[in-house]
Amino acid sequence: MHITRNVYFISGLAADERLFENLALPTTYKIHHVKWIDPLKHEDLESYCHRLAAQIDTTAPFVLVGMSFGGMVAVELNKFLKPQQTILISSIATRNGLSGFLKTVDLLHLHKLVPGFIYKNFYPAAHWFFNAHTKAQKKLVKSFMEKASRTLLVWSIDQVVGWRNEFIPKNIFIINGSADRVFPHKRTNANVLIKDGGHMMVHSKAAEISPVLATQLAKVKWQEAPVTN
């Protein structure tokens, strides 16, 4: 009997599927890319994730792969969906993974003092923060920021620094980089640590991450009932 093996990728904050363009996975998996949608006025992350979940076919076995903020969203989706596995890349499973800097930003509401147009146009800071070193990486980050709506960008930043989650899915697997400035690996409890991997390592070190992903996907029991958290 043919079994559909759906893998849903969720990109980083206001980014898109281009983050994953360098990954190479076996053709036995059907790859989908979850598209960000603009939040409703005063919408919380839980409600947002319920709307985002409309893009996921839960009638067949599936795996969630979330990068950065997309990983945090994958954890939230895990609370009411039942993926066979949830894989986080350059991300965190709980609030404990947030750096002291991001917690201070949240405590003092510093991010709310920054006008939305600054977030969309302050490229040098974004390049440093996301470890974008090459011309191609910097161009990609700039493109993400230009393409994203100001509403989504500002809302997403607020959700990241204000994340209160303490729930850890039983079926989680975390891949982080040793040079990640956004989510320092010492706070992430990573299953696999990529040497010198920065926050955009899913793009810059795809050759190292692809076999790790392939190995994890091969371990999934696709014929079994969804995992119960």
Mean pLDDT by 10 residues, the chain (229 residues): 87 92 96 97 97 96 96 97 96 92 76 60 70 85 86 91 93 96 90 95 96 97 72
What is the span of the domain harbouring residue 180? Answer: 6-97+164-219
- pLDDT confidence of residue 52: 98
Flag whether 155 is in a domain. Answer: no
**Whether the Cβ atoms of residue 90 and residue 201 lie closer than 8 Å to each other:** yes
- pLDDT confidence of residue 116: 55
Flag whether 207 is in a domain. Answer: yes
- pLDDT confidence of residue 128: 74
Q: Tell whether pTM > 0.85.
A: yes
Flag whether 122 is in a domain. Answer: no
- pLDDT confidence of residue 102: 83
Flag whether 133 is in a domain. Answer: no
CATH number at residue 89: 3.40.50.1820
Q: Using CA atoms, how far apart are residues 57 and 124, in angstroms rounded to an integer?
A: 39
Flag whether 52 is in a domain. Answer: yes
| CA distances, 98 to each of 17, 66, 74, 162 (Å) | 24, 16, 16, 10
- pLDDT confidence of residue 183: 93
Flag whether 84 is in a domain. Answer: yes
The tally of domains found in the chain comes to 1
Angle between helices 150-161 and 69-77 (to 10 degrees): 70
Q: Please report, in angstroms and rounded to a whole number, the separation of the first and last CA atoms in the chain.
A: 27
User: How many residues are given for the chain?
Assistant: 229
Flag whether 225 is in a domain. Answer: no
Flag whether 149 is in a domain. Answer: no
